[in-house]
Amino acid sequence: MGCASSKQFKQAPRHEDAAILARETTFSLNEVEALYELFKKISYSIIKDGLIHKEEFQLALFRNSNRKNLFADRIFDLFDLKRNGVIEFEEFVRSLHIFHPDTPIAEKIAFAFRLYDLRGTGSIEREELKEMVLAILNESELLLSDEAVEQIVDQTFQQADLNSDGRIDPDEWKEFASKNPALLKNMTLPYLKDITMSFPSFVLYSGTGDEEL
């Protein structure tokens, strides 16, 4: 990373930039400023260049910078709005905005859809759903038989794939999520209203009930 870029992110965001982020997200100006302190803590944890790299992101989420996990990769990719391999402060704030308690549920549903749409095709296919279920179970250290995993996938498609075309489109996902609120229960982080220096946990699903993935 070049010196100019590193220098840029060693400085706090200008007041007008922070004000724009506050205006365009659910965060207040004070919360944006508090998020910058959190951002600095994470972005200087390993590489120390004022940008959040995947290793630093994974260390903050899972306390392990080396463990490979599809779930962690997907969350990082969705935070990396510019698709340049790092998370800048603006991306950090705009992505965390999704998890704020006051963010509209439609935005949370859309984010969750993108999480499962691994290939970015605009629909969730059966294999994508299975891959994410396995990744979430692995991260939660829950062991289920192959048969149980297949049952979760089958039940989800039975409920969500309304036109039975073998994929879940955004409208079907929206209806499915609205009928299964537990699906999004951890897409809201209450303590974002009282931001501390402890990085929020993004383990979205902790249960394996019929209504949860």
Query: Can you give the pLDDT at residue 197?
Result: 53
Q: How far apart are CA 100 and CA 21, in angstroms?
A: 14
Q: Is the pLDDT of residue 202 over 90?
A: no
Mean pLDDT score of the chain: 85
CA distance 211 to 73: 24
| Residue 10 C-alpha from the chain's centroid | 25
pLDDT tens-digit readout, 18-59: 999 999 999 999 999 999 999 999 999 999 999 999 999 988
pLDDT in tens, 72-102: 899 999 999 999 999 999 999 999 999 999 9
d(CA 164, CA 114): 20
DSSP secondary structure string, the chain?
--HHHHHHHHSPPPHHHHHHHHHHSS--HHHHHHHHHHHHHHHTSSS-SSSB-HHHHHHHHHS-SS---HHHHHHHHHH-TT-SSSB-HHHHHHHHGGGSTTS-HHHHHHHHHHHH-TT-SSSEEHHHHHHHHHHHHHHTT----HHHHHHHHHHHHHHH-TT-SSEE-HHHHHHHHHH-GGGGGGG--GGGGG--SSPPP-------STT--
Show the tokens assigned to 192. Answer: 């974002």
